[in-house]
Amino acid sequence: MKIVKIFKSLVVTLLISLSITLSNCSDYLNIVPDNIVTVDKMFENKSKIIQALATCYAFLPDNFNDHYRTRLTLGNECMFPSVYANRTDVFISNRVMVGDQNVDNPYFSYWNGSGYVASLYQGIRYCNIFLNNIQNVPDLEPGDYEDYVGQVKFLKAYFHFLLINSYGPIVIADKEIDMNASKAEIQQYRQPVDVCFKYVIDLIDEAIPHMPARRIKTQFGQIDQLIAKSLKAKILLYWASPLFNGNSEYYGDFIDPLTKEPFFNLNYDKERWLTAATALKEAIDLAHISNVKLYTYNKPVFDFDLNDIEISGVMRYAYNNRFSIVDPWNSELIWGYSNVSPTSGASIQSACQVKNIEYPNNYQFSYNYMAASQFIVDQYYTRNGVPMEEDKTFDYNNRKEIVNLPTDNYHRGYFIPDDQEVTVKEYLNREPRFYAWIATDRSLWRTYGMLYQIRLRFNQWAGGGTQAANGEYYQTGIAIKKWVHPETQNLYWERIVVYPFPLIRLADLYLMYAEALNEYYGPREEVYHYLDLIRERAGLPGIGSVWSNSDIVKHPGKHLIQEGLREIIRQERAIELSFEGQQYDDARRWKIGDIFYNEPIMGWDSSKGEAKDFYVPVTWQNRDWVTPRDYFTPLSNSVLNQNPNLVQNPGW
């Protein structure tokens, strides 16, 4: 049954009816509504149960349709126009990163549903209502009951995990509480972090056996065993990571008022990495059996690339990586958020899309202003597959030098040979993923089904700002191609190519597995193997070959030491998963937020039109990170006032 396709039309109606019956409930607990007749009617037949199932899915955070209020852009990979610096209702991720988070009305407050996001506890409440009423549906077909229960148990577990990731210790909302319950029953305590993680894992384990291993194509987006096992493995990896594993440094004094014990375990448990690695291998094996594989582009290339595809050193691999994200439901995608609206002018795709060169003053579905940071540009490797500063063949010290556009075959199809045009040396001889996902001044961008030469300097098109743009342009002078389908066009929503936002894909499983193995065993061939699968798709040499080559790397053998391989794995994640909303949570779970997020957002001086003035590094936005305060979202004062048994996160 094509449940996912009908979710969008059904969710609104049921949300309205449920919000009426639940309007007097606590902000953070599952309370049985007193209007039992209304709830009963919601589960009187299979058609209604599908509506209820859709409502449970509706609480998955919508990170792709609204770039103004998405958690996806937390971190230091990108920035939005500074012209809105005084607005508190747009570009919320920027507000958090500049230090404007607060306890009166926290941004991204999933606990009580404020700060421009929905309450995950409300989503859990609906899951509990579903689980308590599905047995009353008379006309379910064989297997429906078990499948639907499995999906909702997973969603309930996943919502709890998202709360743990945001807040640390949480209230476990496992059961509904009657409206007539006592204050003691309603005002519950936060649970220790280990108890919370174990609850989530146990609930996913309950859900897995009752779902198919993999959905048929018309049901992609619904939870199946592969999704559940993949997310379970990811959750176990988080549990093993330094933020949640033996974190006496930050949270030794964060005490549970009920037990007088620390909320966080204070002793590091290495075995958690092995548990995570085992779960990740199980998910990878199921993915392989289910014919999930790293995406490679095997369709016809654009007509304008036919003459260059065989001679370019970059193009074939850039096609692989560009379309690995935007080719809908491709072979690599394990779980995608399918409720993407083509009519949403606030989507991430629209924020990144360059304006149509034929209609430069039309902003419809192309805002031309979600800009990449210099930090993320620096993360991408050289063509040899190592960091710029590590590559002996790369002129790192002179990387800001202005040079002519390249004429060699390696860059063929990504710069137009022109001895009258210039770029900077750091944009040359970079890896194919750089050219696939990043747009720089005078580079080529496949968009609108055409080949654009992007011009990011002031008063130049396509891409640069103007006086009329009022600060709404790629202010760092660096644009993001990753989220824009090459055939998407602005002006009309019907011409936007819609694809699911990748919640988890196979490359992420490979990277997590490599990380878990290295943390438990240290360097070994299996770690290199899974890293090399991703590197091969990206057109890069294997870890062992390049990091053993003293003619290329300054520190040969780095991959043979656990600490060195850890750095390599982390940079591989930063590149492969760039702009996918992973970096911020990775930096947090690794406890390196203060290293990343106290540095300003840097870029070029995009207010200038001449190359010599444009290619000047400038600070576009200062950032503010306080440890340990900013590792978790604060509980709002209103939540604390409602329940005196809750305690605030440290630093707030």
SS in 3 state form for 445-504?
EEECCEEEECECCCCCCCECCCCCCCCCCCCCCEEECCCCCCCCCCCCHHHCCCCCEEEE
- What's the pLDDT score for residue 20? 27
- What's the pLDDT score for residue 613? 98
Phi and psi at residue 490, to the nearest 5°: -90, -165
The Cα-based distances of 130 to 41, 149, 156, 172, 434 in angstroms read: 12, 8, 11, 17, 46
Give the mean model confidence (pLDDT) for residues 293-310: 97
Pick the CATH number of 1-61+110-211 from 3.30.1330.40, 1.10.3720.10, 3.40.50.150, 1.25.40.890: 1.25.40.890
Q: Sign (positive/negative) of CA torsion 115, 634, 573, 617?
A: positive
**Considering just the CA atoms, what is the radius of gyration of the chain in Å?**
25
| Residue 72, pLDDT above cutoff 60 | yes
Token pair of 25, please? Answer: 């409930």
Q: Are 67 and 350 in contact (CB under 8 A)?
A: yes
Token pair of 554, please? Answer: 């300054």
- What's the pLDDT score for residue 156? 98
pTM over 0.85: yes
The rounded distance, in Å, linking the Cα atoms of 470 and 609 is: 16
Pick the CATH number of 225-294+504-591 from 3.40.50.150, 3.30.390.50, 1.25.40.900, 3.40.1160.10: 1.25.40.900
Count of Cβ atoms closer than 10 Å to residue 616 Cβ: 12
Which residue carries 């070994």 as its tokens?
524
- What's the pLDDT score for residue 582? 97
| Location of each CATH 1.25.40.900 domain in the chain | 225-294+504-591
Q: Are 129 and 31 in contact (CB under 8 A)?
A: no
Pick 5 or 100 by higher pLDDT: 100
Confidence of residue 419 (pLDDT cuts 50, 70, 90): confident
Angle at 522 between CA 520 and CA 528, to 5 degrees: 115
Sequence-distant (6+) residues with CB within 8 A of 80 are 67, 73, 90, 91, 94, 351, 369, 370, 371
The rounded distance, in Å, linking the Cα atoms of 454 and 435 is: 13
Which residue carries 């790369």 as its tokens?
394
| Residue 277, pLDDT above cutoff 50 | yes
The Cα-based distances of 617 to 189, 208, 428, 613 in angstroms read: 50, 51, 18, 10
| Residue 25, pLDDT above cutoff 60 | no
- What's the pLDDT score for residue 4? 39
- What's the pLDDT score for residue 518? 98
The Cα-based distances of 247 to 193, 290, 317, 588 in angstroms read: 11, 38, 41, 12
The Cα-based distances of 48 to 15, 134, 466 in angstroms read: 13, 10, 53
| Residue 27, pLDDT above cutoff 70 | no
The rounded distance, in Å, linking the Cα atoms of 447 and 368 is: 13
| Location of each CATH 1.25.40.890 domain in the chain | 1-61+110-211
Alpha carbon 271 to its chain centroid, in Å, reads 27
pLDDT digits (tens, 9 = 90+) for 46-58: 899 999 999 999 9
Confidence of residue 412 (pLDDT cuts 50, 70, 90): very high
Give the start-end residues of each E strand in 240-341: 333-337
Sequence-distant (6+) residues with CB within 8 A of 346 are 65, 66, 67, 68
The rounded distance, in Å, linking the Cα atoms of 433 and 319 is: 9
Helices and strands (H, E) in the chain, number of each type: 23, 12
Sequence-distant (6+) residues with CB within 8 A of 512 are 233, 234, 237, 276, 280
Q: Are 651 and 640 in contact (CB under 8 A)?
A: no
Percent residues over pLDDT 90 in the chain: 83
Alpha carbon 150 to its chain centroid, in Å, reads 25
Give the mean model confidence (pLDDT) for residues 533-555: 98
Token pair of 146, please? Answer: 């078990």
The rounded distance, in Å, linking the Cα atoms of 649 and 628 is: 9
Give the start-end residues of each E strand in 241-344: 333-337
Sequence-distant (6+) residues with CB within 8 A of 161 are 200, 231, 235, 238
Give the mean model confidence (pLDDT) for residues 471-486: 96
Range name among 76-90, 163-177, 246-260, 614-628 with the lowest pLDDT average: 76-90
Q: Are 361 and 468 in contact (CB under 8 A)?
A: yes
Amino acid at site 222: Q
- What's the pLDDT score for residue 331? 97
Give the mean model confidence (pLDDT) for residues 71-89: 91
- What's the pLDDT score for residue 38? 67
Closest CA to 552 of 386, 432, 428: 386
Token pair of 610, please? Answer: 């001449």
| Residue 28, pLDDT above cutoff 70 | no
Confidence of residue 136 (pLDDT cuts 50, 70, 90): confident
Give the mean model confidence (pLDDT) for residues 293-298: 98
The rounded distance, in Å, linking the Cα atoms of 48 and 52 is: 6
When the pLDDT of each residue in the chain is averaged and rounded to a whole number, the result is: 92
- What's the pLDDT score for residue 532? 98
